Amino acid sequence: MRQWAHFSLACGLLWLPAAGFGQAALEREPGGWARVYTATLAAAPKLRVVGHGPVTVDAGASRDVVYTVRVSAAARSEAEARRILDAAPVRVSTQGDWVVLAAPGGPVVAQVKVRSPRLAALDIETTDGAVAVTGVDGAAVVDTRAGAITADRMRGTCKLASGGGEIRVGTVDGPLECTTAEGRIQVKLARQDAVLITYGGDIEVDQVDGTLRADTAGGGIHVRKAGGAVAATSGGGQIVVDQAKGTVTARNLAGPVAVGGAAGVRCESGSGGIHLARIIGPMRVSTSMGSILVDLAGARLVDSFLATASGDITVVIPSNVGVNIRAVNAMADTLRRIVSDYPALPPRRMGNRVVAEGALNGGGPRLEISDTGGTIFIRRQ
């Protein structure tokens, strides 16, 4: 997390003290008292909010910068609350093109809501609380130490970081970066590259038009559509990529992997099955424990390799797909360790292994299959 002390509010400072401009009387609320600050400022292209509670910014919703800050204090009496709130003012300053709104913290909680014109830049930092942002034309940086983040209708670069909360993204036109220490990440549409990292939660992406990196230490990953390469890593949970125009690189410590279409696959799994279909490019697939199913219907095969240390391997080959097969099973207790629907691929013993190799449907790219603890099935479609 970034340091809070680097913000200087000396330039163009407007201090809204107790009983000052735009300030209402104290309001009773459950557990204490609150004071609400409201003001309208001249429009500025850039906005920075330093908060200690929830923050909402709706850009494009107003001709001017209109803000409301609700400052709450836990107190047993109005007099005690007044002393606390008088020592916790809201500060506003201008720094070049920036309007800086600093809400108080410490013994109080400040809820910030801002309506503004479209913004060329937005920077939000808060020590605690959820953040919601919409309608920023330029770069947006959001950093909350604890709370959820939502962002939508963002046109520039978008960097979102939470110390503990889920991140939900609608539409982002620029590059996207999301990081959370704990929580789900959901993205509807990212029109450029995206980097999504969570240390404890699922990652769900409807569409990313560029490349995608998705990492979770403990959760699943589901990518419905990617316009470029996908690199997905999970410490425990399924990885599913429905469609990718680039190569899918998947690493899963303990969970299954499924790819429904990609321009090549590189997959490593410590424990979990692997299911691949409509792969246009090379496949390099291995799992320590789990079965592998590859359907070559609709695929354009390039030299590939499939291996499992414990599990079955099934390859479904249509009659219009030419391929050169070399299948090796380290278990030689029976010839049935390799089962082929193609007479041109009969299994035979070679030392302590069972091997089947040959050209199917006129031959083509080389497909090597290695199994040490299951059965290899070569199926005709």
The predicted-structure confidence for 226-257, as pLDDT tens digits, reads as follows: 999 999 999 989 999 999 999 999 999 999 99
| Segments of the chain scoring below 50 in pLDDT | 1-22
Distance CA 235, CA 198 (A): 11
3-state SS, residue 65: strand
**8-state DSSP, 344:** T
For the whole model, what pTM was predicted? 0.90
Residue 14: per-residue pLDDT: 47
Widest CA span in the chain: 92
Q: Identify the H or E element spanning 82.
A: helix 78-86
Distance CA 23, CA 84 (A): 15
Q: What's the CA dihedral at 214, 218, 220, 221 to 10 degrees?
A: 0
Asked whether the beta carbons of 18 and 37 are under 8 A apart, the reply is no
Residue 24: per-residue pLDDT: 64
For 314, the token pair is 């099934």
Separation in Å, CA 54 to CA 35, 68, 132, 224: 15, 12, 8, 32
313, amino acid identity: I
> Which residue in 192, 87, 101, 210 sits closest to 139, CA to CA?
192
Residue 236: per-residue pLDDT: 87
Residue 343: per-residue pLDDT: 93
